[in-house]
Chains A and B, each alone.
Chain A
Amino acid sequence: MATREYSFYPGCSSQKGASSSNYLVSVETMCEELDIKLNTIPDWNCCSASIGYAGGGELPRLTLSARNIALSEEHNPDQEIVATCAACWLSTKEAAERLNDDPDMMAEANIALAEAGLKLTNKTPIRHMAEVLVEDIGFDAIAAKVTKPLEGLKIAGYVGCQTNRPFGIAGESFENPVYLDKMVDALGADSVPDYEKKVQCCGGALAFSEPEKSQELIKGILESAYDHGADMIVTPCPVCQMNVEVYQGQINDTHGTKFDMPVLYYSQLMSVAFGRSAKDAALNGQIIKSKQLEEIAGK
């Protein structure tokens, strides 16, 4: 099978020493195994996620994404843009749609980009890595790569908000998407198809500014996973991963709970199931370690 190539938008949180650097390491491992080549968009910038709006008006925010798409069109022509971060994907795809629908806005974005010597054509599809896996690679091909099935692990698939709404993965419902469960099953683990909190909001960026309110939401996400007897949670979103993992200690302090639930990326599960080391799967990036996954990786 020929190598698939995509223009890659990694996003701020994936950078070295940043909060989802473990996501990027495991995505690189996963892509090596699946024969996917990611060509990083040279000199990409922040998308301003869904929180830049206080300081950034509509056009400045659209221009952020327009610059990334323009750079991709210039340096990685004819390659679809793929993002791994939910917020990056959403911002970029939303900007592309808005600019396509609004010629005045598009003209102004191009006036702004001209200041940096760039021009936006805006013909590039903007996709999430989950779409690449589901639509381009497929569950069968993923299952065929498994050398160390994740047998005996029960994994709650937490899809979250922005990977799922408003765009989501084609053919999936907003209220009950099943692709993450299918991925878990393809890797030989047991999914939790009736996990009630799979599309529940974790508070997103408001976990920083409204910690108590957000931690109530996170508590529900964890409780439901425990109720189903899950060993760990898997997610495609860096904000979900961080919020659900790192506040468990504070929630325990406030509520007297005893949460100690690992929260992994799908790419980490795949790296392990495909036979790669704990290091390649970036399991050392977990704050709550998954001993079960480390054991499988060490076998």
Chain B
Amino acid sequence: MNDLNTNMIEKYRNSFLNEVEANVEEGEWVKMCMQCGVCSGSCPLGNAWEHPPQELFMMIRAGKREEVLSSDSMWMCTSCYNCIVRCPREVPITHIMHGLAHYARRLGMEPKEQPTAKFAQLFWDNLMKKGRVNELKLGIDLYFKVGEGMKTALKNKDIGIAMWKAKRMNPMEFFGGHAVKDLNGFQKAIKKAEELEAARLDKHKA
């Protein structure tokens, strides 16, 4: 178990809801949910969610910390924003799903081999290198680290070739590619933002 996780368990021994409110993006909204179920009926990948958003909110209130944070469910969010525009309480559901996913990842509790968790992390790492996303390297990483490796790569080979012919993929990107000019400033700014955010979480230590 990572240290942050141990600290958070100590600190919020009695209330997972308080922990979510303090540490999860837009978490203070969870208590506004009136359990109407509209959001759960809105997810495009609905049948793949073991616990749809409404249920996750109920479980947070019921203190089911382990079950919520190690759940596969919030990683099924496609960021379609159906829920947000329909929720009668204007709960920012999409952001809470992202926030729960991020918090679980930070605590090392996300389900292992979760493809979207891996992809989302690769995407972030990729953009941090140059300030812009290198689609080719992202694609290669994706096929070898996330998918079933070679099998997925071969299946997508035809798409890659078609994209390259249409000049929508450039193999030379592998050797550098698009980047921001002030890469140093860019990376320093994001690093500072990460430090400030970590400090905020640190304040909540036991």
Chain A residues engaging chain B, CB cutoff 8 angstroms: 12-13, 15-22, 43-46, 48-60, 62-64, 67, 108-109, 111-113, 115-118, 161-162, 165-166, 174, 200-201, 203-206, 208-210, 213-214, 217, 246-247, 249-250, 284-287
Distance from B153 Cβ to chain A, minimum over Cβ atoms (Å)? 13
Q: Which residues of A contact B197 (CB under 8 A)?
A: 57-60, 108
- Tell me if A210 and B127 are in contact (CB < 8 A): no
Closest residue on chain B to residue A285 by CB atoms: B166
Closest residue on chain A to residue B124 by CB atoms: A55
Closest residue on chain A to residue B171 by CB atoms: A17
Given contacts A63-B190, A117-B185, A204-B80, contact A17 B168 (CB under 8 A): yes
Interface of A is mostly: loop
Chain B 147-206 interface residues, beta-carbon cutoff 8 Å to A: 155, 158-159, 162-163, 166-170, 172-173, 178, 180-182, 185-186, 188-194, 196-197
- Tell me if A166 and B85 are in contact (CB < 8 A): yes
B132 near A: Cβ within 8 Å? Answer: yes
Query: In the complex, what distance in Å separates the CA atom of A214 from the CA atom of B48?
Result: 11
- Tell me if A12 and B44 are in contact (CB < 8 A): no
Given contacts A54-B117, A165-B80, A209-B115, contact A284 B180 (CB under 8 A): no
- Tell me if A55 and B186 are in contact (CB < 8 A): no
- Tell me if A18 and B82 are in contact (CB < 8 A): no
Q: Tell me which of B115, B127, B189 contacts A52 (CB under 8 A).
A: B127
Distance from A282 Cβ to chain B, minimum over Cβ atoms (Å)? 9
Given contacts A63-B190, A116-B189, A210-B45, contact A165 B120 (CB under 8 A): no
- Tell me if B81 and A165 are in contact (CB < 8 A): yes
- Tell me if A53 and B102 are in contact (CB < 8 A): yes
Chain B residues engaging chain A, CB cutoff 8 angstroms: 25, 44-45, 48, 76, 78-82, 84-85, 94, 98-99, 101-102, 105-106, 110, 115-121, 123-125, 127-128, 131-133, 135, 142, 146, 155, 158-159, 162-163, 166-170, 172-173, 178, 180-182, 185-186, 188-194, 196-197
- Tell me if A286 and B166 are in contact (CB < 8 A): yes
- Tell me if A201 and B44 are in contact (CB < 8 A): yes
Q: Tell me which of B142, B172, B188, B190 contacts A64 (CB under 8 A).
A: B190
Q: Which residues of B contact A249 (CB under 8 A)?
A: 158-159
Distance from A215 Cβ to chain B, minimum over Cβ atoms (Å)? 12
Given contacts A43-B180, A284-B167, contact A206 B78 (CB under 8 A): yes
Query: In the complex, what distance in Å separates the CA atom of A200 from the CA atom of B158?
Result: 26
Q: List 17 A-B contacts (CB under 8 A).
A: A17-B168, A17-B169, A21-B168, A51-B119, A53-B99, A53-B102, A54-B124, A55-B124, A115-B189, A116-B185, A201-B44, A205-B120, A209-B115, A217-B45, A250-B155, A284-B167, A287-B166
Q: Which residues of A contact B163 (CB under 8 A)?
A: 19, 246, 287
Task: Beyond the given A51-B123, A53-B102, A205-B123, please list 16 additional residue pairs across the A-B interface where CB-CB is below 8 A.
Answer: A16-B178, A18-B135, A22-B168, A46-B131, A49-B123, A54-B101, A55-B128, A57-B194, A112-B190, A118-B189, A161-B78, A161-B79, A162-B79, A246-B163, A249-B158, A287-B162
Query: In the complex, what distance in Å separates the CA atom of A204 from the CA atom of B81?
Result: 11
- Tell me if A166 and B120 are in contact (CB < 8 A): no
Q: Tell me which of B94, B120, B190, B193 contacts A51 (CB under 8 A).
A: B120
- Tell me if A204 and B79 are in contact (CB < 8 A): yes
Q: Which residues of B contact A50 (CB under 8 A)?
A: 79, 94, 98
- Tell me if A206 and B116 are in contact (CB < 8 A): yes
